[in-house]
Amino acid sequence: MSDNTAAIEEIRELLGDRLSTGSSIREIHSRDEAYSTPSLPDAVAFPETTEEVSQIMRICTKHKCPVVPYGVGTSLEGHIVPIHGGISIDTSRMNQILEVHAEDLDAVVQPGVTREQLNEDLRATGLMFTVDPGANATLGGMAATRASGTNAVRYGTMRENVLALEVVLADGTVIETGTRARKSSAGYDLTHLFVGSEGTLGIITKLTVRLYGQPEHIAAATCAFPTIDDAVNTVILAIQTGLPMARIELLDELQMKGMNTYNPDMNMAEKPYLFLEFHGSPAGVEEQVASFRDIAEEFGVQDFEWASKTEDRNRLWAARHSAYYAGKSLRPGAEGVVTDVCVPISELAECIRGTQEDIAASGLIAPLVGHVGDGNFHLLILVDPESDDELKRAKELAHNVCRRALASGGTVTGEHGVGTGKMRYMEEEHGPAYAVMAQLKKSLDPNNLMNPGKMVQVN
């Protein structure tokens, strides 16, 4: 009997039928939304409490059985693929919103709570949770990948929005990192060590997240530009001017074509677009809008369209959040290879220009969208999964995009994370610091059981 089998038997005693070895459940937990090779877990556990996660970890450490935490499987770099088998720990039953402290602008939630669930729950309080990746991801998964989204430019990423964590370590120890105080100088910042650690150091079982008051007034708009360069230069100048935009998103011509295809209601010009949102008091928003218009007009802006009604705004941002699927609709049946570089804003225009030349040279279809206020943009490179040649060209294209970002002083992943897809760049991006990451991994997970084979190579 292999060690994993022994672990599974003990976990079954603990969880009963909340431990599944059925093939369809294992299949679901074998892949995320990335184009990467699936790999089955030996079993899937559905714990409901921190204590159960802790017991699972004690059992798995005893039997040296790997574990991979799983939210809803919307990651894009193969993070949750159990490449060494073992137990997939699905947090979907840990989906309670435990506390909302309206007066402190924070909430305490279990890791399986999704961002839409939390915002639905908050609606009546006048508060909002701001981090919004495209998918309706779980907060545990978002913390683990240091996710962000369309309004990080104003409200920050998960890095800024997680105040404290409860984490189960490899040996089953339960720790709490941080407090609900807004700042602290007490000790090493373990919260930030676990945010972005992709399940390789511990399993997040509780999160305290920052909330914001819903803005008094919101104005959203879309506007088209003659060229993508004009759109990007508008963004750069607006950021440098210090305009506190809540959202400023770039979509290229091809992406707009996909949006029109995927969203039957949309009927927008197939030109480079910015999607914008401004938050504040009525007078403050008016000022921001006027300043933005002045800048945009310098770059030949066309077709300002305002979405003032809530439902129009919601439709706009729902469309933006569908960008991944909209992009895929440009080539039904294709798989998507996604890039995620982020560069200093001063390098953004040059970086996008070079990227577009690379796309043209590749002969591939690759719409571009970006959280350009952060210097972060994505390609969705569409490939026929049956064509080795296309896949090779897609990987070359993605590789060039990454190399250019590194040469520009940027990072290969602004918000998707490392998973298996970006490991090859870690040495180059981090230099000698990458060895320090491996040291930390070894220190906290000496048996290499926590999502092994991801983030850092140890042994």
Contact positions with a copy of itself (CB under 8 A) in 346-405: 346, 374-376, 405
CB of 172 to a copy of itself, least distance (A): 11
CB of 442 to a copy of itself, least distance (A): 7
Q: What is the DSSP letter of 22?
A: -
Name the strand (E) or helix (H) holding 191. Answer: helix 190-194
Point out which span in 30-38, 40-48, 66-74, 156-164 binds a copy of itself (CB under 8 A).
Answer: 156-164
Identify residue 403 by its one-letter amino acid code.
R
148 belongs to the binding site for a copy of itself (CB under 8 A): yes
Sequence-distant contacts of 421-427: CB under 8 A, at least 24 apart: 421/34, 421/36, 421/76, 421/77, 421/78, 422/77, 422/340, 423/454, 423/455, 423/457, 426/455, 426/456
Region of 314 on the Ramachandran plot (φ > 0 left; ψ -120 to 50 alpha; else beta): alpha
Point out which span in 12-20, 63-71, 152-160, 307-315 binds a copy of itself (CB under 8 A).
Answer: 152-160
137 belongs to the binding site for a copy of itself (CB under 8 A): no
# residues contacting a copy of itself (CB under 8 A): 90
Asked whether 32 and 81 are in contact (CB, 8 A), the reply is yes
The angle formed by the CA atoms of residues 242, 248 and 254, to the nearest 5 degrees, is: 145
- In the stretch 233-252, what mask flags binding to a copy of itself with x, by CB under 8 A? ---x--xxxx----------
Q: Of residues 164-193, which lie at the interface with a copy of itself (CB under 8 A)?
A: 169, 173-177, 179-190, 192-193
CB of 1 to a copy of itself, least distance (A): 32
From the list 384, 430, 457, 458, which residue makes contact with a copy of itself (rule: CB under 8 A)? 430
- In the stretch 18-57, what mask flags binding to a copy of itself with x, by CB under 8 A? ----------------------------------------
Q: Of residues 76-115, which lie at the interface with a copy of itself (CB under 8 A)?
A: 101-106
Following DSSP, what letter does each residue of 372-428 receive, concatenated?
Answer: GGGTEEEEEEEE-TT-HHHHHHHHHHHHHHHHHHHHTT-BSBSSS--TTTTHHHHHH
From the list 366, 401, 450, 456, which residue makes contact with a copy of itself (rule: CB under 8 A)? 456
From the list 22, 226, 300, 344, which residue makes contact with a copy of itself (rule: CB under 8 A)? 344
CB of 427 to a copy of itself, least distance (A): 10
For residue 354, the tally of other CB atoms under 10 A from its CB is 15
410 belongs to the binding site for a copy of itself (CB under 8 A): yes
- CB neighbours of 26 closer than 8 A, spacing ≥ 6? 20, 40, 41, 42, 43, 44, 88
